[in-house]
Amino acid sequence: MSDRIRRALFLPFSALLLALVPGLSAQEGGEGGGPPPEEGAEETKPDDEKEAKYFAIVGGDVHTGTGAVLRGATVLARNGKVKEIGYGVFVPPGAETVDATGLRVYPGLVALGATTRLSQGLGAAEGPELGEDEFEHSHEGLPEIRWDGLLPVPVAPESHVVGDDEHPELQVEEEGGDEEKSEIEDTFDPFNSFLVLALATGITTAQQSTAAVKLKRYEIDGVLLSDRNLASVTWGLANPTGIQSTRKKFAKAAEYLRELRAWRARGDKNEKEPSRRGVDTTALKVLSGEAQALFRVNSREELLGVARFAQEHGFRPVIEGCAEGWTVADELGRAGATAILTPRGRSPKDERFVRPGGASIENAAKLHAAGVQVAVRPESTTIDFVGTAGRDLIALPVEAGFAVRGGLSEQAALEAMTIVPARILGIAHRVGTLEPGKDCDAIVTDGDLLHYQTFVQYTVVDGKLVYDKEQEIYFAHIRPRPKKPEPPKTEEAAPGEEKAETPAEEGAEEPAKDAEGDDEAEEKAKDEKQDDAKDE
């Protein structure tokens, strides 16, 4: 009874909070981790039109990631941000351009849980940065089952996740050190070869330990996009006390937030502010919307438990693993869950129960159909020249392709590698789609991104060309880029003349066009040119 009342009271508040917080976090994230005044001072400079740097990807089929496909369109970036996408876009003279005619343009991919060698190279294992193990262990499918006499006892994978009550002393320390920032800004190696391989795969942003990192090449400024947007929460049937302690912590944090709001509403200056003592910071962060709760669960029971728990407290859970998610897709959809899936991951069905279970190729499709946001990460989240080839980050699009094989739409598969992971990392306002105002992180491919044969030809990060397949030693020799047929140039015209003319022509004509008439105008222009050629 009291529980229900509490829930009824709480939900509106939390909904309000959820609505408010993304805006706040967007502001915070926008600073790129640096101190605000400096950033502002830096940004005012390039706003000077003379110093503005333009970059254009011209003539490709632009898959913006929002659902739209613009065939033969132009993406224009100004100072690293997308300024315009469309037809008849005026490209200022002097702008660096990439000719994407006959190629496809996608937003840069976002890799979840990538190992730190992407941003630091091999030699950078020092410091308190979390290594590969932190992420590798989390994808073991269903909990291991140990036979204890006659009865099977599922064993939870060991994890040092916030929420475990085993080391209360440690917990206190962690609360103090919670604000510790990611060291990526001091350790980033923009020249390391794994980063180049990531760019060759189309990955322009990667989760590195607790942070989201822009994979910039040749520079180290502004690589940190967000930090600690995810908070791991313990949940596993093998560890019932862990679940209990998580429940307690969230209940206490919710109570504290209620008291705090009530206190603020009363506005009584003589009254003391409610004490934060004993309130779990992780739970507080999740409930106040500062961080998203991350559950690493796979089995149906656990998933249902997480869905209900999240609904009780009014937050949207991020569920990594989610192997049996397809059996409870509706419940997860109602809870507003986001799932991080490995479509090629395998997990067996628990044969003790008569009901659907285990991994399914349709997992992603069914979850997506039920309203669950789907993100994809491969079995191994590292990049290497040897070993895990085909199952690591180098094959991220292939992983998403498998979800398509199971019925997921291609658009959803693209989103699973771009905007959904960006939302999970709290950086959807910066990356994840090609939209005006967002960072110009784009890849140009020679075919459908989800096809196994497709290569990334160019990668653009923050409006700068950082990877060109033909110029790097890795894949240049495999199916070399077909040479473009030379446009029927007139031999009489001196090259110097042409150069002088084109900017003037564009400058005079293009801005005058209105948005709707662009297509026609362009066609006309083409016709005119052809006519000219014929005449000569």
Partner 1 sequence: MLALLLSGLLLAPASGGGDLVAIRVKRAETVASGPLEHALILVEGGKIVALGEDLPVERGIPVLDRPDWVVTPGLVNAHTRVAGERSPARLFEPQSRPTFDVDPRHEAWEELLELGVTTLGFYPDGSGIPGQALVLHPHGKTLAEMLVADSAYLKIQLQASASSKKALREAFAKVDEYNEKVAKEREKWEKEQEKKKKSSSKSSSKKDEEKKDDPKAEEKKDTLAPVSQEEEEKKDDKKEADDKKAGDAFVPPAPDEKVKPFLDLRAKSLTAMMSIRKAADYLHLLDVLKKEKDVQFFLQFPLSDDGDLYEVATKIGEKGLTVVTVPEITLQVNSLRERNIPAELVRAGAKLVLTPRFDTLRGHEDWRADVGRLVGQGLAREAALAAITLEAARALGRADEIGSLEVGKRADLVFWSGDPLEPSSKVEAVMLGGEFVVGDVP
Which residues contact residue 271 at a Cβ distance below 8 angstroms, ignoring those fewer than 6 apart? 263
Part in contact with partner 1 (CB under 8 A); list of ranges 94-102, 184-192, 364-372, 374-382: 184-192
> Per CB under 8 A, which of residues 202..231 are in contact with partner 1?
218-221
**Residue with Cβ nearer partner 1 (122 or 153):** 122
Token pair 């047929």 in the structure block, residue: 485
Does 465 bind partner 1 (CB under 8 A)? Our answer is no
**Residue with Cβ nearer partner 1 (200 or 283):** 200
10 Å CB burial of residue 38 (0-12, 13-18, 19+) is exposed
Q: Least Å distance between CB 470 and partner 1?
A: 15
**Residue with Cβ nearer partner 1 (196 or 427):** 196
**Residue with Cβ nearer partner 1 (385 or 452):** 385
Q: Least Å distance between CB 83 and partner 1?
A: 28
> Per CB under 8 A, which of residues 363..392 are in contact with partner 1?
385
Q: Least Å distance between CB 183 and partner 1?
A: 4
Tokens encoding 455: 């290569």
Part in contact with partner 1 (CB under 8 A); list of ranges 47-55, 116-124, 153-161, 259-267: 116-124
Does 186 bind partner 1 (CB under 8 A)? Our answer is yes
**Residue with Cβ nearer partner 1 (121 or 317):** 121
Which residues contact residue 441 at a Cβ distance below 8 angstroms, ignoring those fewer than 6 apart? 107, 108, 204, 205, 214, 431, 460, 461, 462
Does 536 bind partner 1 (CB under 8 A)? Our answer is no
107 within 8 A of 60, measured Cβ to Cβ: no
The Cα–Cα gap between 375 and 428 comes to 13
Does 126 bind partner 1 (CB under 8 A)? Our answer is yes
Q: Least Å distance between CB 161 and partner 1?
A: 24
Indicate the SS3 state at residue 109.
strand
The Cα–Cα gap between 124 and 296 comes to 27
> Per CB under 8 A, which of residues 164..183 are in contact with partner 1?
183
Indicate the SS3 state at residue 131.
coil
**Residue with Cβ nearer partner 1 (36 or 127):** 127
Q: Spell out, one character per residue from 466 to 505, where the chain touches partner 1: x when CB under 8 A holds, - when not.
A: -------xx-------------------------------
- Choosing from 14, 64, 115, 192, the residue that interacts with partner 1 (CB under 8 A) is 192
Q: Least Å distance between CB 136 and partner 1?
A: 23
Residue type, 505: E
Part in contact with partner 1 (CB under 8 A); list of ranges 107-115, 189-197, 404-412, 477-485: 189-197
Which residues contact residue 171 at a Cβ distance below 8 angstroms, ignoring those fewer than 6 apart? 162, 165, 280
Tokens encoding 70: 């613009």
Tokens encoding 120: 């630091």
**What does residue 64 show for φ and ψ, rounded to 5 degrees?**
-75, -15
- Choosing from 3, 4, 44, 191, the residue that interacts with partner 1 (CB under 8 A) is 191
498 within 8 A of 455, measured Cβ to Cβ: no
Does 116 bind partner 1 (CB under 8 A)? Our answer is no
Dihedral, CA atoms, 292, 203, 23, 368, nearest 10 degrees?
A: -60
10 Å CB burial of residue 403 (0-12, 13-18, 19+) is buried
- Which chain residues interact with partner 1 by CB under 8 A? 120-121, 123-124, 126-127, 183, 186-193, 218-221, 385, 473-474
